[in-house]
Chain A
Amino acid sequence: DGGITQSPKYLFRKEGQNVTLSCEQNLNHDAMYWYRQDPGQGLRLIYYSQIVNDFQKGDIAEGYSVSREKKESFPLTVTSAQKNPTAFYLCASSIGVRDRIILGKLFFGSGTQLSVL
């Protein structure tokens, strides 16, 4: 079955630690995205990638970093510079994106809940 896999489901970060959230897709999609969701809120865009080896900052990129070395993978690192990292993180993909407009439907993973110890 094609889809997006996020891991782990739950993650805990210690003070001053970087943590990496995994996102893999086998939908052959060019575009991938990372969103952050706080309780009772909508989704806020962290980073997105139109194609391999290219990515753009979203609305709340500070304290986060990404890489896109393979089409299938778009890992998100939450760095120690992100002072309030506790949130639900969602990865998504679509066939493409142009000028911040999604081409086609968005497909989401099941999310990673990150908490601070």
Chain B
Amino acid sequence: DAKTTQPPSMDCAEGRAANLPCNHSTISGNEYVYWYRQIHSQGPQYIIHGLKNNETNEMASLIITEDRKSSTLILPHATLRDTAVYYCIVGNKLVFGAGTILRVKS
């Protein structure tokens, strides 16, 4: 199973871009990268997913490196409400690691 590595925590200033990295060096060719986030005491929420190309939706952008061994979730203008735990999932498997705690500060 492809494993992911995320930093345990990150800080970001309100209004600035938040860039959350995820390493997945053992990813297989047909495995998608999914991102979810969990605000305190709520269920996780889907953000975005991608295979090879960069993806953008109303919530975020996903940048996947050419070798697919890592990706970055970008929140272009972080707000205080973006403070949450962000999970990177490879292969859409049933495993959620500890994720990255993003703290957006005013």
A contact set with B: CB distance below 8 Å: 4, 33, 35, 40-43, 45, 48, 58, 88, 90, 92, 97, 100-103, 105-111, 113
Q: Are B43 and A42 in contact (CB under 8 A)?
A: no
Q: Are A108 and B44 in contact (CB under 8 A)?
A: yes
Given contacts A102-B92, A102-B93, A106-B36, contact A41 B98 (CB under 8 A): yes
Q: Which of B41, B91, B98 contacts A101 (CB 8 A)?
A: B91
- Min CB gap A50→B, angstroms: 12
Contacts of B41 in A (CB 8 A): 88, 111, 113
Q: Which of B34, B46, B93, B98 contacts A42 (CB 8 A)?
A: B98
B contact set with A: CB distance below 8 Å: 34, 36, 41-46, 49, 87, 91-99
- Min CB gap A107→B, angstroms: 7
- In whole angstroms, what is the CA distance A106 to B95 when docked? 12
- Min CB gap B84→A, angstroms: 13
- In whole angstroms, what is the CA distance A110 to B46 when docked? 13
- Min CB gap A41→B, angstroms: 6
**A-B residue pairs in contact (CB < 8 Å), sample of 15:** A4-B43, A41-B98, A42-B95, A42-B99, A43-B96, A48-B94, A90-B43, A100-B94, A102-B92, A102-B94, A105-B34, A106-B46, A107-B46, A111-B41, A111-B43
Given contacts A42-B87, A42-B97, A42-B99, contact A109 B43 (CB under 8 A): yes
